[in-house]
Amino acid sequence: MNLKYKILLMALFFGAFFSNAFAQSELIVEWDDANGDVAVNALYDAIIADSLRPEDRVYVLRKGGYYWNTERIDNNGWHLRIIGEEPDPTNP
């Protein structure tokens, strides 16, 4: 096999492998209800209700949101990943 084809196949293989390695399953957590009021325990409820969470689940908090939690979040036996939504640079 030609050297160029070997290099191309290796690049495709590694590209496919690493693209899956960095993929994340994101779940947007809304902080308000339909009336615009703060939803108490929104983050807790989203985590507890997500019973079929994939291994790479990431909970994304909305920018400018207020997440009021009164319940303790326990994550025994699995990794809990929470990130904030990227802010809009044109609207500080």
pLDDT digits (tens, 9 = 90+) for 60-86: 999 999 999 999 999 888 899 999 999
Is 5 a residue whose pLDDT tops 80?
no
- Split into its structural domains, the chain has a count of 1
In a domain, 27, yes or no: yes
Instruction: Identify which has the larger pLDDT, 7 or 47.
Output: 47
Distance of CA 57 to the CA centre of its chain: 5
In a domain, 1, yes or no: no
What residues contact residue 88 under an 8 Å CB cut-off, 6+ apart? 63
Q: Length of the chain, please?
A: 92
Question: Strand, helix or coil at 59?
Answer: strand
pLDDT in the model for residue 84: 96
In a domain, 53, yes or no: yes
Is 19 a residue whose pLDDT tops 50?
no
In a domain, 17, yes or no: no
Distance CA 34, CA 68 (A): 16
What does the block give as tokens for 73?
């979040």
Average pLDDT in the chain = 85
Residue 80, domain extent: 23-92
In a domain, 12, yes or no: no
Nearest to 50 by CA among 23, 80, 20: 80
In a domain, 13, yes or no: no
